[in-house]
Structure 1
Amino acid sequence: MSNKTYNVGVVGYGLSAKIFHIPFINDARSFRLHAIVQRSPKPSDDAAKDHPEVKVYHSTEDLVADSDVDVVVLTTTPATHHELAIQAMKHGKHVLVEKPFTPTSEQARDLAKAAKEQKVLLTVYQNRRYDSDFLTLKSLLDANKLGRVVEFETHFDRHRPEMPAGESWKTKPEDYSAVFDLGTHLMDQVVSLYGLPERITGFVGTQRGSRNTTGLEDSFTAIMHYPDNLIATAKAAVVSPEAQQLRYWVRGEKGSFKKFHLDPQEDQLKTGLRPGQQGYGVENESKFGTLATVGDDGKIVEERIPTVSTNGYTAFYDQFAKALDAKDEKLLPVVPTVAADVIRLVELVRQSSQEGRTLTV
């Protein structure tokens, strides 16, 4: 448990702030929601009404000038992350940046360098390192249940053949690519397990066909080539008419693990369930993954593996607090240089797709 309570200022008041950050800031013992930046409140969307106990600012400038703020959480669009993070760090604030980290790896590395210069800690909200299904898979790998892994598949597939409605950065081809958005989650999980690959092959484009009139990159496949003949595939599709969407399929010499369905936390949060409440982060038994192992007689034996129950993404904030207490970048839940490496992989996947060749990382 942290030795101090850190005052948090959240920049932005959209879905990311409301669903993926504020519930966990409130749940984490070492953090206190101190302020929110909401530029344009509306009668039906007003941070001051939702959180009357906290300060509400209308500009990031006012927030970072608040001497009581210890940590700034950026939930704004990726294109704003570099400028706002620099601004916060220059005021001596520690910073947590929502993913995707930055539009370019150059900007990401610049932020990592700036954090060292300003003697503050910077991390990136790769919260899906704390997904219950990923932690379940990780526990099997740590216990060597699969043996030497030769193929690792991680999917974020949906059946959404229609173009997304509304106005956001995720509908703008100049800002959005599926590999930049979902790919940063999937490839970060792989990198957290195996480090950077030696080579990478990418396919980026659209599966919506004639429906896609804007050129939005709605799907991707990234094939990461590792030593010892390990191939890791990260994939997101929008044309996938399946009753059960594949999440993981990992095969090794001793066994394989196959898991369908996404971690339940996002859907639970959207329905109002909060960390600490009964049932939060608990997956229905019908959605458990399957471990297949080779028995002594050479026959394949299957067993259902219960998805681990956790305190969810609060664990990210708890680990962040440990790093802040120790003033140690190595203890961060996500080290910024590693997050920059993931953005570099995004760039290489797109380049590989454009050039039609495998690239050295």
Structure 2
Amino acid sequence: MSTIYNFNAGPAALPKEVLQKAQREMVEYGNTGMSVMELSHRSNAYEDIHNQAISRLKSIANVNQDYHVLFMQGGASLQFTSVAQNFLKGQSNYILTGGWSEKAAAEAQKIGNVVIGASSKENQYRSIPLSDTLLYDSNDSYMHVTSNNTLYGTQWQSFPDASIPLVCDMSSDILSRSIDMNQFDLVYAGAQKNLGPAGVTAIFVKDSFLKQANKNIPTMLSYQTYADSNSLYNTPPVYSIYMLNLVLEWIEERGGIDYIEDQNDQKAKIVYEAIDSSDGFYKGHAQIDARSKMNVTFTLATEALTTTFLKAAADAGFVGLPGHRSVGGCRASIYNSVSLESCEALAKFMNQFKKMV
């Protein structure tokens, strides 16, 4: 295989060890005589995979016993609607920190009233609003935050301690660092950045919050449907869940969240150092105190120079560095499965490119 460095924002890099194990098991899983993709979701073989994935998610995330872990389809974008359908009563509160939080609020607005509790849009989403500046009402159904902002490269360092339920889109930094997951009433995350391939969305929902959900909503949008059926109401995305389980196993084998967080700290330090030591040749988008350890966003002096950089990077085997089409610039997504060596190679390339021009 050609040597490439995968910095795609999602679908993103997967651990080589996971891909190799999946390759070995592609034609036959265990002694079933079938691929995982051929197993009935009602079979004992698949239910073992399914339940292992749920158990591992609970264990690695260290959530209390009163949380349900659900598997749904439709990505985080469907959750924008599902959250509002289930829990928006009267009005809800959304904190805007980037494009995906805007989309979440826009979808919720179709269901009911949305109040914007804070926004960093006025400074081009370079920062995260301070917790003591957030405006909310005790009657708000919930407060919604997006933990990591892939487009702009910002990340919540700590979360609001509000007196209302807290809902979090954690799609791009789930299981990347040690945080108290029990502070949230609901967390959702598309798998395709840190958990596995596209096709499955993981949801953590506190039982007391689930009990408050609206009852008269479409069956496939109701979290209660999935809680009552162990996410087996209909055919789940079996292969995506199988891959998710392998990724969770990979995390466990390396020591869990503590190891992953240490690796992510090192990777982010390497890439940000290449930016900060460049004397302004590379300019980071996010304010230093809001920098994401998952998505490093930066620009060069001109669009022409950016284009030249991205072409040279692609020729050198670096994949996925162009910024999101709505933002431009450059973005290195350094999720859990991106290796330390890949980040070292990128920093070395950035230093060399600066010297060449």
State TM-score, norm by structure 1. 0.31
Considering fraction of residues, name the structure with more strand: 1
The answer to which structure, 1 or 2, has the higher relative contact order (CA under 8 A, 6+ apart) is 2
What is the TM-score when the length of structure 2 is the normalising length?
A: 0.31
